[in-house]
Structure 1
Amino acid sequence: MPTRAELPRSNHFQETHSWTDDLPVCRLSGNVAFMLNMMMKMEVMLWVGFSTNQIYREDGCRQEEHQFEDRSFHCCVDDNTFLYGVFDGHEGVQAATFALQRMAAEILLGQLSGKTSDEEIKEVLRQAFIAVEKGYLDSVDDRLAERTSLQYEIPDGMTSYEAYQKFPHLVDKLNALNCELSAGTTVVVALVYSGRLYVANVGDSRALLCRTDSNGVLRVVQLSVDHDLRNEDELLRLSQLGLDVDKFRQGSRLGNQENTRCLGNYLVKGGYKEFDELVTARAEPVIAEPEIHGGIQLDETCRYQQLTCLYPSLCNCMQCRATGWFLLLMSDGLYKSLVEATRTDQVNKDIAQMAVEQFRVQSTLTGVAQAVVDKIVRIHHDVCMSGSTSPDGHFTVAGKRDDITLLVRNFNFPLPNALNSPTNAVVRFNPIVTTVSTSSWSAGDDNSTIENSLTDTTASNTTDDQNNDTSTTESSSDLFPDRPNPVDRNTRINAYVDFSDFFQNVEKARAEGTLPLDIEF
């Protein structure tokens, strides 16, 4: 069967461009008024941390086993709709990249219009997964046709060894195609719509909703389902298809992958009969049907509130330890690395607690997400390189780890040391009009020039702070007593931006004949 080693390599973490790159990135949360307020404050409400897979070496040099296969997006469509997703690809990036681009389109391009009930919105999410799955499998039709053609060229009854001895070029091509057709991805998406949270997933990427109560107790709820061979509900489903689940309990793979649900991977779906352990199934054992949870009401208590405490890092006041909500979306590399290194039986709570600790000390959500990832990576690496074993003496950490992605969506969890953007200061437009000297103004002169002196910024701010009486106004008669209005509406105003370089370049391009034909200059 195909392996990652046969896949083409790439040094890029993500494709150069996706249509989702043009969607507004979600940096905010709340309703319209709240959004406008936060746009002024520029508080980043979401960010992603990641780490590429690694094979540990004794010399400490970094070595990746395969290209980075995780993908993620986070976008804000309007003040009412936010969508986030983490895609953990396997056997290549094809399925993860395809799902990244199509999933948003299947949810955000009008499908939610008019949907108000939880069941209607869940159905939109379910249909999105099914549509992405169908679209991906349709996109590999040409590879399926080529694979079938190659299989017909190899006589029946031959063993793999005999086929490779007689038809090495055909076997090599067939293996390469099998690699491509094995590409699949887990998916976990979170939709915030009309103040409610919905989570849908296939595979073992997770979504954790975390909050602290008024007593500072951390509550963690897993909103996703791990679709793997440790899930008794999934084993029951496989048993009902006619498979011997006792064999699966002793192993960790279903065909050529670990998950019982995913998007993509034709070989364990349409081609599942080619696997000895799956041949007795009455239908496709690996499916793309998502588990969906929600909606969870995100009321006023979930809104972000700017801390006003002067010394938040030193304070223990009620405001600085107030209740807070945040959401974590992660690929399985994050929590599995921590479990493998520490053998913890409460990995969700451990990760959430790490996030809480980083909220207290980091100044950005970028720092929170990446610090959690870096800490788990360091723990896993140190345990592995130290050769630690479990108390029974049998446990040893593997000499490598998988890709890791962690997406943090903050609702209202305090970030006491948050960096303040320059736009945090309230900008007020309170212009002070300075008139031209009356001695230099000549009534009736249509071409007279008006020179306005700029008021010192500090003086302007001081005046604004000291005089907040908005009822005081100045009329044109106050500015120009006993004079007609000196401004001619047809008089050309001197430009306050110098476009001379632009016009010179336009003329140069016109002379060279390189001006775009569809733009009027």
Structure 2
Amino acid sequence: MQSGRDSRLNYSSTCWIDDLPVCKQSGIGFSMNQIYREDGNRQEEHAFEDRSFHCGFHNDNNSFLYGVFDGHEGTKAVDYCFQKMPAEILLGQLNPSMNDEDIKEVLRQAFIGVENGYMDSLNDLLAERAAYDVPEGVNPYDYFKQTELEHLHQLNANISSGTAAAIALIYNKTLFVANVGNCRVLLCENDPNAVLKVIQLSIDHDTRNEDEVLRMSQLGLQADRLRKHVRLGNQENTRCLGNHSVKGGYKEVEDLMKAAQEPIIAEPDIIGGIKLNDSHRFLLLMSSGLYKAIEEAMGTDQVNKYLAQSVVDQFREQTNITGVAQAVVDKVVRLHHDWHMTNSLSYDRTREDITLVVRNFNFPMPNAIRTPTVSFNPLVATSLISTTPQSTLTNSTSLFNSEQSNTNTNNYDNTNSSSSSEPALPFPDPDEKIKAYVNFKDFYKNVEIAKKNGTLPHGLLL
């Protein structure tokens, strides 16, 4: 795969992704980062650094692509990657003859292609920064990070820009998930006992992940030291796209300099293919700001359960899927805000960007807006407009199972009852006549008066 194939893409607010068909079974909710002020006024800490898409394939109703990107140190890397990734997957790389392993390799090559293309785009910036003299005995990473020279500071920020990414591909009704960093993907499905399970399909690539700590310790880094550090250089992910400062420049970062080779990588974890069927209810993709806000505000490690329950609650209330996604985000934003404003122990009075993509497979939405269904009898003009969804929900509250498996699977009671519908309205006998329900007596009376007065409108013949 040629990493530079789509170098002509215009990486701006409007791009070729806008021309892709939007998946109508999905919606996006988001909220910009915030600094909590005592006076309650809104203040952002930085520009919005999340990106996302939810698109279908042209002329293919069974295939869709979803993505969430969580950028850091500006938007340079996240803008490039979120626009380049669909091109690396959708522009002829997939074909129906592929097996699951072939499709997973397409996703892997997409991540590697995006990474290589972005790193190549930094060459001029790296050359410009190399022209600056670093004072003797000063660590270059610290110097460029702390410099008061505005141009040099911005130059270093662009070189240090990176992003986490999570991609979900549905190809011929089969699901594949690939990710680097700590964006998260959850699949909710019914088990044989009709209990809704929450399955985390993505891998959190950070220092809380013992597999990642082991991988990096094998490169010469101290495991105990890694576990104590949430951040590595200017970010917290052990895998990401972009961010040259912790990759090509890792020898200048104190926490990483002893590694035998680049410890922060762009190799994705990939899961699939999962054959989708009626047991699968909905899919969630999110930036880390969503679940971390819940962790902080509620002090719980059962975030996946909480999010799934929140989505179920909003499916009951909202009229469309975008409303579901945004309502969940708004709930978490309010929860986090209220906790910070009432917690005197909170020292970091900020919240990061939040993005949530919800894809509904077949979970009922009782309040969804539907196109009216009209039945017509040539003898009796009767309109029957359906206002009751095909499936209804019980009013009982879902209760989560307290047990948690090693596969990040969490159970809670299923709230979906068997489908029900209103009794059909009775039709009259075909020969039966019904009484008129509009009285035209006054109309005809006024027509006769108009005729006598010669004021009947021209062309009205009765």
- What TM-score, normalized by structure 2, do the two folds share? 0.75
1:57 pairs with 2:13: no
Q: Is contact 1:80-1:193 (8 Å) kept?
A: yes
Q: 1:403 aligned to 322, 338, 353, which one? A: 353
Q: Is contact 2:139-2:252 (8 Å) kept?
A: no
Q: Is contact 1:115-1:121 (8 Å) kept?
A: no
Q: 1:89 aligned to 71, 76, 91, which one? A: 71
- Judged with a 3 Å threshold, the aligned counterparts in structure 2 of structure 1 residues 155 and 215 are, in CA distance, closer, same or farther, namely closer
SS in structure 2 of the partner of residue 104 of structure 1: helix
SS in structure 2 of the partner of residue 88 of structure 1: strand
Report the equivalent of 1:348: 304
1:419 pairs with 2:369: yes
Question: Comparing both structures, which one devotes a greater share of its residues to strand?
Answer: 2
SS in structure 2 of the partner of residue 80 of structure 1: strand
1:332-367, CA deviations, whole angstroms, 9 ceiling, x for partnerless residues?
000000010001121101100000011011111111
Report the equivalent of 1:140: 122
- Judged with a 3 Å threshold, the aligned counterparts in structure 2 of structure 1 residues 197 and 157 are, in CA distance, closer, same or farther, namely same
Q: Is contact 1:76-1:83 (8 Å) kept?
A: yes
Q: Is contact 2:180-2:269 (8 Å) kept?
A: yes
1:282 pairs with 2:238: no
Offset of residue 114 of structure 1: 4.5
Q: Is contact 1:220-1:349 (8 Å) kept?
A: yes
Once residues 118 and 124 of structure 2 are traced to their aligned partners in structure 1, the CA distance between those partners, rounded to angstroms, is 12
1:244 pairs with 2:194: no
Q: Is contact 1:88-1:331 (8 Å) kept?
A: yes
Once residues 369 and 261 of structure 1 are traced to their aligned partners in structure 2, the CA distance between those partners, rounded to angstroms, is 27
Offset of residue 80 of structure 1: 2.9
Q: Is contact 1:55-1:63 (8 Å) kept?
A: yes
SS in structure 2 of the partner of residue 116 of structure 1: coil
Q: Is contact 2:374-2:383 (8 Å) kept?
A: no
1:301-327, CA deviations, whole angstroms, 9 ceiling, x for partnerless residues?
16xxxxxxxxxxxxxxxxxxxxx6100
Report the equivalent of 1:129: 111
Offset of residue 405 of structure 1: 0.2
The residue type paired with residue 330 of structure 1 is M
Report the equivalent of 1:39: none
Once residues 110 and 426 of structure 1 are traced to their aligned partners in structure 2, the CA distance between those partners, rounded to angstroms, is 42
SS in structure 1 of the partner of residue 27 of structure 2: strand
The residue type paired with residue 146 of structure 1 is E
SS in structure 1 of the partner of residue 84 of structure 2: helix
Offset of residue 59 of structure 1: 0.9
1:263 pairs with 2:241: yes
1:48-71, CA deviations, whole angstroms, 9 ceiling, x for partnerless residues?
000000000111111100011000
Q: Is contact 1:373-1:404 (8 Å) kept?
A: yes
Q: 1:219 aligned to 197, 209, 228, which one? A: 197
Once residues 410 and 222 of structure 1 are traced to their aligned partners in structure 2, the CA distance between those partners, rounded to angstroms, is 16
The residue type paired with residue 358 of structure 2 is V
Report the equivalent of 1:439: none
Once residues 207 and 89 of structure 1 are traced to their aligned partners in structure 2, the CA distance between those partners, rounded to angstroms, is 17
Aligned residues: 372
Q: Is contact 1:205-1:330 (8 Å) kept?
A: yes
Once residues 76 and 404 of structure 1 are traced to their aligned partners in structure 2, the CA distance between those partners, rounded to angstroms, is 23
Once residues 375 and 97 of structure 2 are traced to their aligned partners in structure 1, the CA distance between those partners, rounded to angstroms, is 38
1:67-92, CA deviations, whole angstroms, 9 ceiling, x for partnerless residues?
11000011100223200000010011
1:333 pairs with 2:289: yes
The residue type paired with residue 74 of structure 2 is G
Offset of residue 217 of structure 1: 2.5
- Judged with a 3 Å threshold, the aligned counterparts in structure 2 of structure 1 residues 98 and 417 are, in CA distance, closer, same or farther, namely same
SS in structure 2 of the partner of residue 74 of structure 1: strand
- Judged with a 3 Å threshold, the aligned counterparts in structure 2 of structure 1 residues 154 and 235 are, in CA distance, closer, same or farther, namely closer
The residue type paired with residue 119 of structure 2 is L
- Judged with a 3 Å threshold, the aligned counterparts in structure 2 of structure 1 residues 382 and 181 are, in CA distance, closer, same or farther, namely same
Once residues 340 and 135 of structure 2 are traced to their aligned partners in structure 1, the CA distance between those partners, rounded to angstroms, is 47
Report the equivalent of 1:382: 338
The residue type paired with residue 292 of structure 2 is K
Instruction: Report matched runs for 1:292-371 at 5 Å.
Output: 292-299=270-277, 301=278, 325-371=281-327
The residue type paired with residue 47 of structure 1 is G
Point out where structure 2 has 5 or more consecutive residues left out of the alignment: 1-10, 385-426, 431-462
1:94-117, CA deviations, whole angstroms, 9 ceiling, x for partnerless residues?
111111111000001111124421
Report the equivalent of 1:202: 180
- Judged with a 3 Å threshold, the aligned counterparts in structure 2 of structure 1 residues 266 and 357 are, in CA distance, closer, same or farther, namely same
Report the equivalent of 1:26: 23
Instruction: Report matched runs for 1:103-114 at 5 Å.
Output: 103-114=85-96
Q: Is contact 1:383-1:397 (8 Å) kept?
A: no
- Judged with a 3 Å threshold, the aligned counterparts in structure 2 of structure 1 residues 408 and 163 are, in CA distance, closer, same or farther, namely closer
- Judged with a 3 Å threshold, the aligned counterparts in structure 2 of structure 1 residues 158 and 225 are, in CA distance, closer, same or farther, namely closer
Q: Is contact 1:341-1:397 (8 Å) kept?
A: no
Report the equivalent of 2:152: 174
- Judged with a 3 Å threshold, the aligned counterparts in structure 2 of structure 1 residues 365 and 214 are, in CA distance, closer, same or farther, namely farther
Once residues 163 and 53 of structure 1 are traced to their aligned partners in structure 2, the CA distance between those partners, rounded to angstroms, is 28
SS in structure 2 of the partner of residue 335 of structure 1: helix
- What TM-score, normalized by structure 1, do the two folds share? 0.67
Point out where structure 1 has 5 or more consecutive residues left out of the alignment: 1-13, 28-44, 303-323, 390-395, 433-457, 469-521
Q: Is contact 1:235-1:245 (8 Å) kept?
A: yes
- Judged with a 3 Å threshold, the aligned counterparts in structure 2 of structure 1 residues 163 and 365 are, in CA distance, closer, same or farther, namely closer
Q: Is contact 2:375-2:382 (8 Å) kept?
A: no
1:172-215, CA deviations, whole angstroms, 9 ceiling, x for partnerless residues?
43322111111100000100001100000000000000124576
Once residues 151 and 85 of structure 2 are traced to their aligned partners in structure 1, the CA distance between those partners, rounded to angstroms, is 31
Offset of residue 24 of structure 1: 0.8
- Judged with a 3 Å threshold, the aligned counterparts in structure 2 of structure 1 residues 163 and 346 are, in CA distance, closer, same or farther, namely closer
SS in structure 2 of the partner of residue 79 of structure 1: strand
Q: Is contact 1:209-1:221 (8 Å) kept?
A: yes
The residue type paired with residue 327 of structure 2 is A
Q: Is contact 1:262-1:286 (8 Å) kept?
A: yes
Q: Is contact 2:163-2:241 (8 Å) kept?
A: yes
Query: Among the aligned pairs, what percent are the same residue?
Result: 59
- Judged with a 3 Å threshold, the aligned counterparts in structure 2 of structure 1 residues 149 and 51 are, in CA distance, closer, same or farther, namely same
Q: 1:272 aligned to 250, 253, 263, which one? A: 250
SS in structure 2 of the partner of residue 254 of structure 1: coil
Once residues 217 and 157 of structure 1 are traced to their aligned partners in structure 2, the CA distance between those partners, rounded to angstroms, is 62
